Amino acid sequence: MAAYAHPEVLVETDWLASHLNDPKVRVAEVDYDPAANYDMGHLPGSVLIDWRKDINDPVARDILSGDALTALFARAGINDDTTLVLYGDFNNWFAAFGFWVFTYYGANNLKLMNGGRKKWIAEDRPLTKEVPKPATGHFKAHPPDAHLRSFLEDVRKALPEVKGGKFSLVDVRGPKEFSGEITAPPEYPTEHAQRGGHIPGAKNIPWAQAVKEDGTFKSREELDELYRSKGVSANTPVITYCRIGERSSHTWFVLKYLLGYPDVRNYDGSWTEWGNLIRTPIEK
């Protein structure tokens, strides 16, 4: 069985269990709903990163600024030489989003705990309600890495190349979202877009097809077959998208780090932007 392209970015639960007291390792739980997760019990020593409050701009429809990330990492006790291990709810959707954002701002010592919160609990590993108070961290955000993120106009410009097979758009939502049968995923039934469907030329490869029943990632061979069978390969640039960018961050992580694709970008505007704009083309 071949190793992942970048196996160093993924750690197993047993590895993390043995490093919980390592002063060079900071663990962070990234949650969409902390009250139902972190507040009910979390990994010993893990800090909370609230997806809505901490990784998104409080006013604009955007991710947090570089200055805000510097402040967040200061509160979380993260330095340049800190190994930051992320895990979270919803099969690591939001942890993967955090991984993408933090990488965008130059954090390069990041890891994702394979299987996330779900697997840790399934293994009956310890949880606590104690909230740590780490010493102030000194990591400073770097200029954004434009090669990791796509905006609306980037996707518009890519459409002719998508049609010509020189660019891949991967829609990681469920089949009913992709077809336009529903306009919100089952996990967020009240958060609709104005139109259902998908970006023209996009290939539907739901994020969940990349993981096993326990939430851990499938083997490299299985992942390679999954994407190649849908015409997605490392030979062309790839843009991933979903509804708000969190599920597509999960697939971005798979393509970039587990399979080693050289040019993968996440379109975090995703369907909430594309599906709500006047005169943006869609397919059903």
| Residues involved in catalysis | 242
Asked if 172 contacts 251 with a C-beta cutoff of 8 angstroms, the reply is: yes
Q: Quote the Cα angle for 120-220-239, to 5°.
A: 95
> Rounded distance, CA 270 to CA 183, Å?
13
Asked if 214 contacts 144 with a C-beta cutoff of 8 angstroms, the reply is: no
Helix (H, G, I), strand (E, B) or coil at 127: coil
- The one-character DSSP state at 229 is T
Asked if 220 contacts 3 with a C-beta cutoff of 8 angstroms, the reply is: yes
- The one-character DSSP state at 126 is -
Asked if 91 contacts 37 with a C-beta cutoff of 8 angstroms, the reply is: no
Residue 171: phi and psi, rounded to 5, are -95, 115
> Rounded distance, CA 40 to CA 253, Å?
28
